[in-house]
Structures are given as C-alpha cells and as structure tokens.
Amino acid sequence: MANAMFPPLESDLLRTFVAVADSGNFTKAGETVGRTQSAVSMQIKKLEDILGEPLFERGSRGVNMTGHGARLLDNARRIVALLDDTAASIRLPALDGSVRIGISEEYINSTLPKALGAFAAIHPGVEVTVQQGVSMSNLAALEAGEIDIAVVFEPGGHAKNEVLMVDPTVWVTSDQQQIHERHPVPIATYTYLKGGWCDALALKNLKRRGIESRVAYISRTSNGLIAAVTSGLAIAPLTRSSIPAGCRELTAADGYDVIDFSNVVLKTRARNANNRIVESMANAIRDAFRAQPAAHS
C-alpha cells in the first residue's frame, strides 16, 4: 500500500545526499559524485519531493541539514555502504591471509569499526588483528614488523606520511564544572611525558598563555584523560573529534589556544608479503576516515 502511494527511494539520490551532508556544499558534493552543481541540486530537490520534507537549509555559505536530513543520514550512509560493499565483494577476488593493525584508541570505537566492517564484507577469509596503543608504540611495532599498518598522530604542519585527517589537539573541560578557572589549573597528562610531543606541546601551550598549572591526573590512555575531565578533576589535552558528551573545548574566549593541529597519518610496512591484503585494508581505513566529519571549529 505504502509503495503504491510513495515513489521508492533511489540509491543515486541517497549517495548524492550523503555527499552534500559531508561537504556542506552542492559544488563540492558534485565533485564527489561526478555531477554538476545544478544536477546535485535537482537530485536533492527530487529526494525532498519523494520524502515530502526539506533536508537542507540553503544559505550564502553553503547548506545545513534540517532535522529531517539528520534523521535520514545514518540510514543513507548504511545503504550506500552496503551497495558499495556488495559491488566490491563481487568485483574483487576474495583474499586469504592476515593483516595486523596498530591504531590510537581515539578511533577504536569510531572510525575503525567502519573500516573493519567494510573490509570483512569483501574479504571475510582474512584474519584481522588490532593492537590499540599510543603512536610511539605503534610506530615501534611497525618498524619491528609486528604490525602491517599503523594509524598514528604526528605534530601538525608539513607531513612526510599520508595524512588521513587533521584532528586538532585542544584543551577540554567539563560543561558542569568550571575547572579551567581554578588557580593553578589542574591538568591531566599522559605518563609518557619524556619524548611525548602531546604533553610537551600542551605544557608549552599553557606557559605561552601564562596559565599556571599543576598535574592532577596521570594516565597511559586518552580514556583516562576523558575520565579526569568528565569527573571534574582536571582539564585535559584531547583530540577535537574525541571530546565526550558533557564536555567542551576551551577556546580563546576562555583564554586557551589550540595545542596543535595534529595530523592523523597512515603508515604501512615498506616490504610485506601480504601487500594486496594490506593495501585493501588501508583503502578501507582511508574510506572510513573520509566519511568522518571534519574536525574543525
């Protein structure tokens, strides 16, 4: 009955919708899906007519999703990903073997599951091993041949390696407690201060602003730093994409600066017997990071 009343959704329309949602711009979305700006506009209008609801609000600086658009986005992403995975599983020969990944914990529960799901749909016979760790340990494991792919942080600026995204490191505080207004301000840090660029940059950042601080919490992981912030014990240096609910970034209005415009980079072993498997997994990781919202203000 419902199908007779309403036209069916078309996958091309959903693909264009996702491209517009990710770019916030019809022209950039057109570059992604290989269509002109006017064709993208017509497709979005057609999709809105089918659904009977506006999906975007047009403005001089681009477009913003409406509430109806936000409701559609997750399902649209899943449909497009399923179609792509189905096509790839038929077109590409299935691989057998293993691949080992080292990745920072910031992306263990967000980006990595998308990459693993897409990879498994195409190559279900490949054994995947994931090592969660800080960048220094993952780089050491890659150099020692213990892992095949490393997704790690590097200080911002010119990068020699492939940059997946720029994810700024910022000071984060609890929404409920004004921790950053205490004197000296309590901060959370990692245990690997010596040689750890994040801690070194964070402390220099406070000193440059003339902010007196004391170490109130020490952790080996960013989850530990998140716990310190959410409990109201300290402020902490976290990647912008990992700011938890109930917390916010401290900005210039609060007297704080961005610590570093950190690069998230992908590195693979120079010589690897499973090159096809490693490259296929690397592509899945690249695609998952491309689907991430940009980590900017």
In this predicted structure, what is the pLDDT of residue 293?
A: 64
Residue 218 has pLDDT above 80, yes or no: yes
**Which of 146, 118, 115, 114 is closest to 133 using CA atoms?**
146
Question: Quick check: 157 pLDDT over 80?
Answer: no
pLDDT digits (tens, 9 = 90+) for 227-247: 999 999 999 999 998 899 999
**Tokens matching residue 167:** 């994810």
- pTM, full prediction: 0.65
Question: Has residue 87 got a pLDDT over 70?
Answer: yes
- Integer angstrom CA distances of residue 20 from 1, 64, 107, 225, 294: 31, 9, 24, 35, 13
Confidence of residue 257 (pLDDT cuts 50, 70, 90): very high
Per-residue pLDDT, 82: 77
Q: What percentage of residues in the chain have a pLDDT greater than 90?
A: 40
Average pLDDT over residues 62-70: 87
pLDDT at 173 over 50: yes
Query: Is the per-residue pLDDT at 297 higher than 50?
Result: no
Is pLDDT above 70 for 48? yes
The token pair that represents 113 in the structure block: 């599951």
Greater model confidence, 24 or 1: 24
What type of residue sits at position 11?
Answer: S
The answer on pLDDT for 294 being more than 80 is no
